[in-house]
Amino acid sequence: MDYSKDEGSLKDADYQVVKLQRKGGYRAASFVFVMMLLDNVGFVANMVSLVLYFGSVMHFNIAESATTTTNLLGTVFLIPILGGFISDTYLNRLNTCVLFGFIELLGYVLLVIQSHDKKLLPSPCGETSCVHGTKALLFYASIYLFAVGAGGIRGCVPALGADQFDNNDPKQRKKLASFFNWFLFFVTIGASIGVTVVVYVSTEITWYKGFIISLACSSGGLLIIAMGKPFYCYRVSGDSPLLSVLQVLLVTVKNLRIKVPENSDELHEIQSDESNLMKNRIPHTDQFRILDKAAVLREGKEPKEWEVCTVTQVEETKILTRMMPILFSTIIMNTCLAQLQTFSIQQGVRMNTHFRRYNIPPASIPVIPLVFMTALIPVYEFAFVPLFRKITGHPNGITELQRVGVGLVLSAISMAIAGVIEVKRKDEFNNHNHVISLFWLSFQYAIFGIADMFTLVGLLEFFYREAPGGMRSLSTSFSFLSLSIGYFLSTAFVELINSVTRRVTESKIGWLEGDDLNQIHLELFYWFLAVLSMINFVIYLLCAKWYKYQIAVPLESELVSKNDAAPRNDGTEDPANSVS
């Protein structure tokens, strides 16, 4: 870029570049780390404990508590799509985070108000639902404002942190991979505090004080990420990525009868001098050739929107299309995760929760996988990656898709073990009148925690790296979309399993029906998910083998400062920003 045209002199241009070199890097990402640590204190605590709040305070039965929880969490992880879309199209990542942060705080405020005032809480009624009228309005408004706010934050914050590293620089790409590992590390620290301190306060002292702690931590996190404003590299917002995809699909339909030229150079593409800062030119690929019809300019037509699309637009659509099988292959794993946050917590209520002099809240049992993850992430970063880098030659040790595959296998093992533990729990109680220790659940939680460490980081990095520049918030939110569908599928599976087994069992009672966990067949449901997970893993292997990584040709740097339109530092780092 000719800086002299923008700044008036070479001296001014040099100053501009030096100024931008001081932006980004780990110094800027540290604000993201602290924000996610604080926000996850309350977020994860409520993820694992709200099922108890719904049962003990709102008086839902076991199945209602589980389905209400999975529906809520499904909504939480569906909203990142909205957050990613807004930050890619209308607002930058930081402003989107602040917007949804205030929505989350409003949800917490309503939760505090309702849980503190007994007049706003329902009384036991013996009906299907005890929550009616104004109490129901306040209840659902509070939990879904919390869901919208928390979900929107997760749709833009990972991309904001990743934007601080140049994906086009090989040295920065290694740091980008490390960023996602450390991102999860700080998330797990916050979650560990939440499932111990906040859960204990909520379940053992009083719920409203637990919500106040969540409110205070989220407020602090929002303040911290706003304080990092002077240090961030920003992507300026551009055209709607979803609108671009829609254009490709509609123009393809228009051009269905048109033959695609054999020479891809004849397809429509904007030259580099016509491109803006937001675009990378993506080379043509032969996959999904039917979409190439959108890049054919019909005879007598002007090259304008809705008449013809560029090769880059078409390739962006192809990239998203290739990603979908990978996304859908991880849904079953997240259906398994939903069980650890619903039925497994309810198992814990019926187990021995004492450890020496202390009473351990059942909702605190997820601290076990979180401790595993917190300890293993540095081991993975400093030992596993260098070792496998020498073996495989891959800069990250193993590829993102291999990481996901490891996690899928471990999640299946976790569900199989969960079924075995439930058999033991019921046998000890029903046949020997003995209540086993809560810590038996640690086996299934620990294995799933390791699975989550591999899969979540692998997906975040995969979707960020493979996505076109203008779609990275939207793309990273796909990781959370998989969670959302998994939670909703869990609700559907509970209803389906009950419906089918009600017809085939002699008792005419579904596997998961009733309030007595010692009489239902939760272990069979766990084993059903384990078998389904292994079938899903085979499908995933086929999808991963079929996937072709995209190669982008950068025209201009995607990252600019908020006030300056100069390119970001490309490779030469300020020592103040360099943390390996």
pLDDT digits (tens, 9 = 90+) for 464-479: 777 776 677 777 777 7
Percent of the chain with pLDDT over 70: 84
DSSP 436: P
106 pLDDT band, cuts 50/70/90, is very high
Find, among 103, 113, 209, the residue nearest to 148 by Cα: 103
- Shared-domain flag, residues 172 and 222: yes
Find, among 471, 28, 1, the residue nearest to 237 by Cα: 471
Structure tokens that stand for 30 in this block: 């540290």
Residue 478 lies in a domain: yes
Query: In the predicted model, is pLDDT for residue 109 greater than 90?
Result: yes
Residue 509 lies in a domain: yes
Most confidently predicted of 54-68, 205-219, 389-403: 205-219
Residue-number span of the structural domain to which 95 is assigned: 17-238+329-563
- Terminal CA-CA length for the chain: 30
**In this predicted structure, what is the pLDDT of residue 378?**
86
CATH number of the domain bearing residue 442: 1.20.1250.20
**pLDDT: which is higher, 187 or 89:** 187
Question: Region 553-576: what's the mean pLDDT?
Answer: 38
- Shared-domain flag, residues 380 and 473: yes
Return the amino acid letter for 146: F
- Sign of the Cα pseudo-torsion (37, 43, 46, 47, in order): negative
Percent of the chain with pLDDT over 90: 14
Structure tokens that stand for 72 in this block: 């809520």
Question: Region 132-157: what's the mean pLDDT?
Answer: 87
Find, among 263, 278, 267, the residue nearest to 303 by Cα: 267
Return the amino acid letter for 390: K
Which helix H or strand E contains 434, and what residues bound it?
none
Residue 488 lies in a domain: yes
- Shared-domain flag, residues 195 and 265: no
Instruction: Kindly provide the b/e burial profile for residues 363-381, where b requires at least 16 CB atoms within 10 angstroms of the residue's own CB.
Output: bbbbbbbbbbbbebbeebb
**In this predicted structure, what is the pLDDT of residue 183?**
87
Find, among 520, 468, 465, the residue nearest to 497 by Cα: 520
DSSP 553: E
Query: In the predicted model, is pLDDT for residue 220 greater than 90?
Result: yes
Question: Region 429-443: what's the mean pLDDT?
Answer: 84
Residues 6+ apart with CB under 8 A from 482: 77, 327, 328, 330, 331, 333, 334, 459
Find, among 179, 231, 251, 300, the residue nearest to 19 by Cα: 231
The pTM of this model reads 0.73
- Shared-domain flag, residues 402 and 351: yes
Find, among 149, 171, 153, the residue nearest to 161 by Cα: 153
Residue 9 lies in a domain: no
- Shared-domain flag, residues 218 and 258: no
Structure tokens that stand for 477 in this block: 């939110």
What number of CA atoms fall less than 13 Å from residue 421's CA on the CB side?
A: 23
- Shared-domain flag, residues 156 and 233: yes
Residues 6+ apart with CB under 8 A from 48: 195, 199, 341, 345, 363, 364, 366
**In this predicted structure, what is the pLDDT of residue 20?**
44
DSSP 3-state of 525: helix
Find, among 218, 231, 162, the residue nearest to 190 by Cα: 218
CA-to-CA separations, 207 to 68, 73, 343, in angstroms, rounded: 18, 19, 21
Residue 24 near residue 569 (C-beta atoms within 8 A): yes
Query: In the predicted model, is pLDDT for residue 448 greater than 50?
Result: yes
- The strand ranges marked E within 482-574 are 553-554
- Shared-domain flag, residues 121 and 202: yes
Query: In the predicted model, is pLDDT for residue 274 greater than 70?
Result: no
Residues 6+ apart with CB under 8 A from 193: 41
Residue position matching structure tokens 């957050």: 83
Mean pLDDT of the chain: 78
**pLDDT: which is higher, 365 or 259:** 259
Name the domain count of the chain: 2
Question: Region 106-120: what's the mean pLDDT?
Answer: 88
Find, among 453, 428, 448, the residue nearest to 438 by Cα: 428
- Shared-domain flag, residues 170 and 290: no
Residue 12 lies in a domain: no
Q: What is the pLDDT of residues 316-331, one digit of tens each?
A: 888 888 888 888 888 8
- Shared-domain flag, residues 251 and 226: no
Residues 6+ apart with CB under 8 A from 151: 75, 76, 77, 78, 79, 80, 82, 83, 100, 480
DSSP 3-state of 554: strand
Residue 167 lies in a domain: yes
**In this predicted structure, what is the pLDDT of residue 167?**
66
Residue 507 lies in a domain: yes
DSSP 3-state of 352: strand
- Shared-domain flag, residues 405 and 510: yes
Q: How many CB atoms lie within 10 A of CB 205?
A: 10
Residue 425 CA to residue 522 CA, distance in Å, equals 11
**pLDDT: which is higher, 291 or 305:** 291
Return the amino acid letter for 92: N
CA-to-CA separations, 472 to 88, 477, 522, 558, in angstroms, rounded: 7, 8, 39, 11
- Shared-domain flag, residues 345 and 466: yes
Question: Region 229-258: what's the mean pLDDT?
Answer: 80
- Shared-domain flag, residues 110 and 133: yes
